[in-house]
Chain A
Amino acid sequence: MAGTKKNARMKRRAKETVFYWSIVILPLLQFCVFYVAVNANSVILAFKSYNTETGLYSFAGFANFTAFIRDMAGMPALKTALKNSLIVWLSGLAVGLPLAQFFSFYIYKKMPLHGFFRVMLFLPSVVSAVITVALYKYFVDRAWPEAARALFGVKMPMPLATLSTRFPAILVYNVWVSFGTGILLYTGSMTQISVSVAESARLEGANSFQEYWHITLPSIWPMATTFLVVGVASIFTNQASVYTFYQDQADNSLYMFGYFLFQRVIGKAATLADYPYAAAGGIALTAIAVPLTLGAKALLEKCGPKE
């Protein structure tokens, strides 16, 4: 009797095992090729150089790393890239993130016009960046200066065509289009909060801000942490739509790490000889990004609000 039960259990487990592995095996294979192998190849590539005459790659030691570090120290475009990348990340952190949470709270509390605002906030995620960039570019450069002159009598330069205002204009664009998915996920997370918790807080006299601060924020904190932790990596990968605005013709004042590496591989002047340098640059930046990300995660877990 016991043996029959054991056999049945083993048979059931074998079926489960076959089912389980039949589902996970192909995605794991895909992961091995397009994540593990790609990154392993990236490391190998970083130690190679390309001979344009023979069309062959050969071992180059640390030459690509040395070149990248030398450029980081001396190349004005890369110094600007570091500054710009940090500014874009900080603007998202200091402006984009709190606004996304406040807006989500407003929608979650079903305050006036919440449905309309929800659609509006999500709109830039629906429309392609190439369209929003085109609209923004023409509106900001053609309509703004004319409106400023008509309304305030001020002569305003074209923000995206003027060297000194280009980067701030791009910064504003990036915050402007950044809310979509965040709003969806935050409001989704807020609706999971027990109604009775919010109601009892109300009965105890808490106002909307207190409810947000003491109940909503601690409840959505794990998700906010996810965004914040993942966001640290964006310092090194974000292009801030610079390629969409200017192709590979952006001037040095607009450089970001993401843009620099992308145009080094995809730009019109890019050749196979640029690949090892870009791979080495990527690895060098990964070496900086990993401890930063882990540090941010540990800090947020330690210092975040508790439910």
Chain B
Amino acid sequence: MAKRLKNKIRFRAPVFAAVIFALLAVYAASLLLPFLWGATVSLRSEKDFYLNGAFAWPSPFRFDNYAKAFRYIYAPIQYKGTVANVYYFEMLFNSFLYSLGAGFMMTLVPCLMAYVTAKYKFRFNKAIYGIVVVTMILPVVGSLPSEYQIARALGFVDSFLGVIVMKSHFLGMYFLVFYAAFRVVPWEYAESAMIDGASHYRIMLRVMLPLAKTAFFTVLLLNFIALWNDYQSPMIYLPNHPVAAYGFYAFQFSSDNAVNSETIQMAGAMIMALPVFALFAAFNKRLMGNLTVGGLKG
């Protein structure tokens, strides 16, 4: 009986692998198809799309869709009492400033906090770790109106510096990622540096942080991409400095008939996806480096 069961389980194991493979293959196809379909549609004329259906090959190729979408990806802002438009390149610059500035601080702050908490024996460490765990476990819902009020009172609304300060927190999953990374780094390296007369700052910058650089750059890239793709926070806190993601959001809901066709919308989507794909192609190994998090003790 036991032998039969064992054989049965053995027989089922390739099925387990095959089922996951099949699911993954379907998933990959479900992702690639809309992207390829979108790229094809972006090169078709509106007339061709309606006459020949959703799956026809572009004939002729309409690259001018891209020029048109490019012209129409803009966000209206209030400027000196009138409405002005901010166009793609300026929004790209805003995105870069917002993503890099806030992304760097969102990585550096939890990294430094995790380092001192993991490596220095202070009673307050428990409080810091506790704050991270408790804020993760105990959800606070609906604090947006209050946050907006405080940001306004501090003059942080519409200020890149203000928004970066707001984002410079140590809370969340990445603190635990860095904490796990620093826990396994041996302290002997620091002790050797101390014997050589290095200060705590020097040890941190020259010895310990480089040992966690893989985790640091992975988290930095994850934060950068998350912020690059975020349109809601800039929509609320940077209303007169729209970012590219918000520009495309406004483009999607534009009431202008010139951009309301599938072909122009897909061209716009491709224009927006391009910088992120380039970034992903350049850093995909770094981006998908191994990260690990422990449990929530406390």
Q: Do A and B come from one complex?
A: yes
| Main SS at interface, chain A | helix
What are 8 inter-chain pairs, A to B, with CB distance below 8 A?
A20-B116, A35-B169, A131-B269, A131-B272, A134-B266, A212-B16, A230-B173, A232-B139
B9 and A265 contact, CB distance less than 8 A: no
Q: How large is the interface on B (under 10, 10 to 19, 20 to 34, 35 or more residues)?
A: 35 or more
Measuring CB to CB, which residues of chain B are less than 8 angstroms from any residue of chain A? 6, 9-10, 12-13, 16-17, 20-21, 23-24, 27-28, 30-35, 37-38, 41, 53-55, 109, 112-113, 115-116, 120, 122, 124, 128, 131, 135-150, 154, 165-166, 168-171, 173, 176, 199-201, 222, 225-226, 228-232, 235-236, 245, 248-249, 252-253, 262, 265-266, 268-269, 272-273, 276-277, 279-280, 284, 287-288, 290-296
Inter-chain CA distance A207–B253, complex, in Å, is: 52
Known contacts A143-B54, A147-B55; A230 and B17 CB within 8 A of each other: no
B33 and A139 contact, CB distance less than 8 A: yes
B225 and A136 contact, CB distance less than 8 A: no
Inter-chain CA distance A265–B77, complex, in Å, is: 19
B10 and A118 contact, CB distance less than 8 A: no
B222 and A281 contact, CB distance less than 8 A: no
Kindly provide the distance from the CB of B14 to the nearest chain A CB, expressed in whole angstroms. Answer: 8
Contacts of B148 in A (CB 8 A): 265, 275
Q: Mark A103-147, 1 if CB is under 8 A from B, else 0.
A: 101100001110011111111111111110011101100110011
A222 and B141 contact, CB distance less than 8 A: no
B201 and A19 contact, CB distance less than 8 A: yes
Contacts of A49 in B (CB 8 A): none
Inter-chain CA distance A150–B53, complex, in Å, is: 11
B168 and A27 contact, CB distance less than 8 A: yes
* Interface residue A41 (Cβ < 8 Å from any Cβ of B): yes
Contacts of A124 in B (CB 8 A): 31
- A139, A142, A187, A210: which contacts B290 (Cβ < 8 A)? A187
Inter-chain CA distance A120–B30, complex, in Å, is: 10
Shortest Cβ distance from A191 into B: residue: B290
B171 and A35 contact, CB distance less than 8 A: yes
Q: Mark A268-302, 1 if CB is under 8 A from B, else 0.
A: 00000011101101110110011001100100000
- A15, A33, A112: which contacts B150 (Cβ < 8 A)? A33
Shortest Cβ distance from B266 into A: residue: A138
Inter-chain CA distance A297–B146, complex, in Å, is: 28
A146 and B54 contact, CB distance less than 8 A: yes
Inter-chain CA distance A131–B242, complex, in Å, is: 16
Inter-chain CA distance A276–B112, complex, in Å, is: 36
Inter-chain CA distance A138–B24, complex, in Å, is: 23
Known contacts A138-B262, A188-B290, A208-B16; A42 and B143 CB within 8 A of each other: yes
13 more A-B residue pairs beyond the given contacts A106-B17, A223-B293, with a C-beta to C-beta distance below 8 A: A45-B146, A117-B24, A126-B279, A127-B273, A142-B262, A150-B55, A188-B291, A208-B16, A209-B13, A222-B294, A222-B295, A286-B141, A297-B296
A130 and B169 contact, CB distance less than 8 A: no
Kindly provide the distance from the CB of B234 to the nearest chain A CB, expressed in whole angstroms. Answer: 12
B140 and A39 contact, CB distance less than 8 A: yes
Contacts of A138 in B (CB 8 A): 38, 41, 262, 265-266
Known contacts A19-B201, A126-B225, A138-B266; A106 and B21 CB within 8 A of each other: yes
B143 and A39 contact, CB distance less than 8 A: yes
* Interface residue A65 (Cβ < 8 Å from any Cβ of B): no
B21 and A130 contact, CB distance less than 8 A: no
B143 and A293 contact, CB distance less than 8 A: no
Closest 8 CB pairs of A and B: A282-B142, A222-B295, A233-B139, A207-B13, A128-B229, A275-B145, A42-B146, A19-B200
A34 and B169 contact, CB distance less than 8 A: yes
Contacts of A223 in B (CB 8 A): 292-295
Inter-chain CA distance A131–B147, complex, in Å, is: 28
A122 and B288 contact, CB distance less than 8 A: yes
Shortest Cβ distance from A288 into B: residue: B141
* Interface residue A102 (Cβ < 8 Å from any Cβ of B): yes
Contacts of B10 in A (CB 8 A): 205, 207
- A27, A146, A275, A281: which contacts B149 (Cβ < 8 A)? A275
Contacts of A122 in B (CB 8 A): 287-288
Shortest Cβ distance from A281 into B: residue: B142
